[in-house]
Amino acid sequence: MTNRNTDVNFTPFAYSSISATYIAPKGKYIFICIERSPFSKTSPENNHELWRISPDGKESTKIDEGLNILKRKGCFIIKKISRLRKIKNKNGIKQQWMMRDHYYDLDGHIIWAKDEYEYRK
């Protein structure tokens, strides 16, 4: 916004890439979506994080983490793995990952979370 480049250390953890950046209305915050390297190849992981940074870069807050982060008009949606459900059937036990969508306003505060649903690739 000011045509200056400044290094900002907003997370103490390593990450593989910055997937998206957003500026809140009136430049109140800068939001950064980062992707951590996935650790497991067999199960889904909450490997994306949403961070909120003050415009001067002095204050950073981790909003939440999830499987996917979407920006919609007026909110962020973080799709988050919530639990592993085990279902007994005639062939044995089936495992099903459950997800929940969490909605955040443009200040980074949670608005609400939808009901759980089955994770499908």
62-101 residue pLDDT tens: 999 999 999 998 899 999 999 998 988 888 888 889 999 9
The H or E element containing residue 72 is strand 68-72
98 found inside a domain: yes
* Residue 26 scores a pLDDT above 80: yes
Q: Nearest CA to 118 among 77, 78, 82?
A: 82
Domain count of the fold of the chain: 1
Find the mean pLDDT for residues 19-38. 86
The verdict on residue 6 lying in a domain is: no
pLDDT for 51: 92
Residue 40: the pLDDT is 57
Q: Does 95 fall in a domain?
A: yes
Q: Say whether pTM exceeds 0.85.
A: no
> In this structure, are residues 16 and 37 in contact, taking their beta carbons and an 8 Å threshold?
yes
Q: Would you say residue 9 lies in a domain?
A: no
Domain that holds residue 85: 17-118
Q: Indicate whether 12 belongs to any domain.
A: no
